[in-house]
């Protein structure tokens, strides 16, 4: 095998974008050999744009065609796990778009199918290619920050007007999309949270559903995270603020790290605050602190192309996979925990997340959905 042959399942905004990048040669040793979409209009658009590529009207026929060894699934959220499970059954490698799915119970079934198949499984967590977040993760893993006391991420620059929610019948409904800001805009950030800081142990959240728009899902969220080691976190997101904010602040023994406005600044204490506290005798003493601009590439990194190239290299060269599909359940567990807490008013035990209870409550939402 010297080239990865990939089929694209779903020729919408994301799927067609992946095809364009691949046809432009942006991913070395990966080529598109098949496209599938249930929409006749989109199939005709694919045939017109790429007459040399086979086009199918259902995934099963694409899987059985043996024209590809890998598939990229870029359909609405509920379809990710079932289409991935069928692909694994056909002996195909799989990449799924984010999120991994809508509810953890379904995603865990997908992970089991992936493990049984022995095939390569990836997820389009393209923000893991961002050098800024890679740098912060490296600093944390190296111990530069010491103990992390508090994490606050305000990410409200997702403004989406009513016209966006009205642009497609499946958007912003429990039945077809499975949620709002958390399941659509925020999966990358929730993945980055656990990728950099680890999974929280408990979550308490409040959310507003249709606060700013004529929709049934969440458009404004405030969540509080707790870790057994004493770290706390705040996650604030909304699609109804303009202009919005994207600020990640990490308070730690060694000071404070802030990522905002294309800057990564480490307000670094000369000595750990905890060590300072042990020896200081002045009532209003504070540790000496230096403002350090950490050098980082703020281009955003290779993003989707980077994930596809890494997946290709993993298949052909044995390179370690940057975004393993099995890890998609982690960010989704955070998302589901926020939803569950907001629905019930309870603090959710993340490590022992009640998959079945969440599924049952989601079904109630779906039954009453206008999607």
What would the mean pLDDT of 20-41 be, rounded to a whole number? 98
pLDDT for the residue 169: 86
Q: What is the pLDDT of residue 252?
A: 98
How many Å from the N-terminal Cα to the C-terminal Cα in the chain? 44
CATH of domain 128-300+331-367: 3.30.360.10
Cβ neighbour number for residue 279 with a 10 Å cutoff: 8
Number of Cβ within 10 Å of residue 25's Cβ equals: 9
For residue 43, report the phi and psi dihedrals to the nearest 5 degrees.
Answer: -65, -45
256-276 burial code (b ≥16 CB/10 A, e <16):
bbbbeeeebbbbbbeebbeeb
Q: What is the mean pLDDT of residues 301-321?
A: 98
CATH 3.30.360.10 domain position(s) in the chain: 128-300+331-367
Average confidence (pLDDT) over 284-312: 97
> Cis omega (within 30 of 0) on the bond before 120?
no
Convert the pLDDT of each residue in 1-19 to its tens digit: 799 999 999 999 999 999 9
Look at residue 248 in the predicted model and tell me its pLDDT. 98
pTM value > 0.85: yes
CA distance 102 to 125: 16
The residues of the chain that CATH labels 3.40.50.720 are 4-125+303-321
Q: What CA–CA distance (Å, rounded) separates 279 from 336?
A: 44
pLDDT confidence band for 168 (50 / 70 / 90): confident
pLDDT in the model for residue 170: 86
Structure confidence by residue, pLDDT tens digits, 319-363: 999 999 999 999 999 999 999 999 999 999 999 999 999 999 999
pLDDT tens for 180-204 read 999 999 999 999 999 999 999 999 9
DSSP summary character for residue 140:
H
Residue 278 has a pLDDT of 97
Kindly report each contact of residues 55-64 with a partner whose C-beta sits within 8 Å and lies 24 or more positions away, as own/partner.
Answer: 59/9, 59/83, 59/86, 59/87, 60/86, 61/36, 62/7, 62/9, 62/34, 62/35, 62/36, 63/7, 63/87, 63/90, 63/92, 64/90
Cβ atoms of 156 and 238 within 8 Å: the answer is: yes
Per-residue pLDDT band at 371 (split at 50, 70, 90): confident
Does position 241 have pLDDT exceeding 90, yes or no? yes
pLDDT tens readout for residues 80-134: 999 999 999 999 999 999 999 999 999 999 999 999 999 999 999 999 999 999 9
Close Cβ partners of 53 (under 8 Å, ≥ 6 residues apart): 19, 32, 33, 34, 35, 46
- Mean residue pLDDT of the chain comes to 97
Task: Give percent above pLDDT 70 in the chain.
Answer: 100
Q: Can you tell me the distance from the alpha carbon of 276 to that of 127, in angstroms, rounded to the nearest whole number?
A: 36
Tell me the backbone φ, ψ of residue 340, rounded to 5 degrees. -60, -40
Residue 139's pLDDT is: 98
Q: What integer pLDDT is reported at residue 204 of this predicted model?
A: 98
Radius of gyration, CA atoms only, the chain: 22
Give the architecture (CATH level 2) of 4-125+303-321.
3-Layer(aba) Sandwich (3.40)
């Amino acid at each position: 095998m010297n080239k990865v042959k990939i089929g694209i399942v779903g020729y919408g905004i994301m799927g067609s974008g992946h095809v364009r990048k691949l046809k432009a040669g942006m991913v070395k040793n990966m080529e598109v050999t098949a496209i599938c979409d249930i929409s006749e209009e989109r199939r005709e658009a694919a045939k017109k744009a790429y007459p040399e590529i086979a086009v199918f009207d259902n995934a099963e026929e694409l899987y059985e065609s043996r024209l590809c060894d890998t598939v990229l699934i870029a359909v609405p959220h509920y379809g990710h796990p079932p289409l991935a499970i069928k692909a694994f059954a056909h002996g195909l490698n799989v990449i799924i778009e984010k999120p991994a799915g809508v509810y953890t119970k379904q995603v865990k079934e997908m992970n089991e199918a992936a493990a049984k198949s022995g095939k390569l499984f990836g997820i389009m967590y393209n923000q893991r290619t961002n050098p800024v977040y890679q740098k912060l993760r490296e600093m944390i893993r190296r111990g530069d920050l010491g103990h992390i006391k508090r994490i606050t991420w305000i990410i409200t620059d997702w403004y989406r007007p009513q016209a966006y929610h009205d642009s497609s019948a499946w958007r912003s409904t429990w039945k077809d999309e499975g949620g709002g800001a958390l399941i659509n805009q925020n999966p990358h950030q929730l993945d980055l949270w656990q990728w950099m800081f680890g999974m929280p142990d408990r979550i308490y959240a409040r959310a507003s559903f249709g606060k700013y728009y004529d929709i049934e899902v969440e458009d404004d969220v405030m969540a509080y995270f707790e870790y057994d080691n004493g770290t706390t976190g705040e996650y604030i997101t909304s699609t109804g603020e303009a202009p919005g904010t994207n600020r990640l602040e990490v308070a730690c023994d060694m000071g404070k790290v802030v990522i905002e406005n294309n800057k990564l600044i480490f307000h670094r204490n000369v000595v750990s605050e905890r060590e300072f506290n042990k020896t200081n005798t002045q009532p209003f003493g504070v540790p000496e602190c230096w403002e350090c601009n950490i050098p980082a590439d703020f281009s955003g990194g290779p993003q989707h192309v980077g994930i596809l190239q890494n997946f290709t290299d993993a298949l052909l060269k044995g390179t370690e996979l940057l975004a393993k599909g099995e890890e998609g359940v982690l960010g989704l567990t955070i998302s589901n925990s926020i939803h569950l807490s907001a629905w019930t008013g309870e603090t959710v035990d993340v490590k022992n997340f009640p998959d079945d209870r969440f599924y049952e409550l989601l079904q109630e939402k779906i039954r009453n959905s206008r999607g």
